[in-house]
Amino acid sequence: MAFSGQNLINRINLIMNEKGLRRDPDLYNIVPSGTLSAWKNKGQIPKVNTICNIADFLGVSIEWLITGKETSGLTHEEQIHLSKYKNLSKVNKRSVQALIDSMLNSSYDEQ
């Protein structure tokens, strides 16, 4: 599938919906809503630095934003979990790590 402004908008909307960021004003600080409409309706292609800023804001890779594919070895769902984890405090990260370790240890015990 070729890169298009419409495909980019679809992926932006997908991530924003998944993260509950619908019509988030911070995105409009990066890209004005009129520009988003031009990408969608007129097929205009954004500048590379704009794509980088959007990917960073949404917590996705530039590759996924452009192509909808990922070569990092992580699924889209895993990337979303990782993005959420990165936003946790140090204390909450330690809690998540302890929970994962506990779950892994109990699964080893069951084997």
Q: Say whether 40 sits in a helix, a strand or coil.
A: helix
pLDDT over 70 (residue 96):
yes
Highest mean pLDDT, choosing among 25-34, 37-46, 48-57: 48-57
pLDDT over 70 (residue 107):
no
pLDDT for 69-81, tens place per residue? 776 677 777 877 8
Cβ-in-10-Å burial (0-12, 13-18, 19+) of 104 comes to exposed
Q: What pTM was estimated for this model as a whole? A: 0.59
**How many whole angstroms separate alpha carbon 68 and alpha carbon 10?**
10
14: nearest Cα among 73, 56, 76: 76
pLDDT over 70 (residue 24):
no
Residues ≥6 apart with Cβ < 8 Å to 14: none
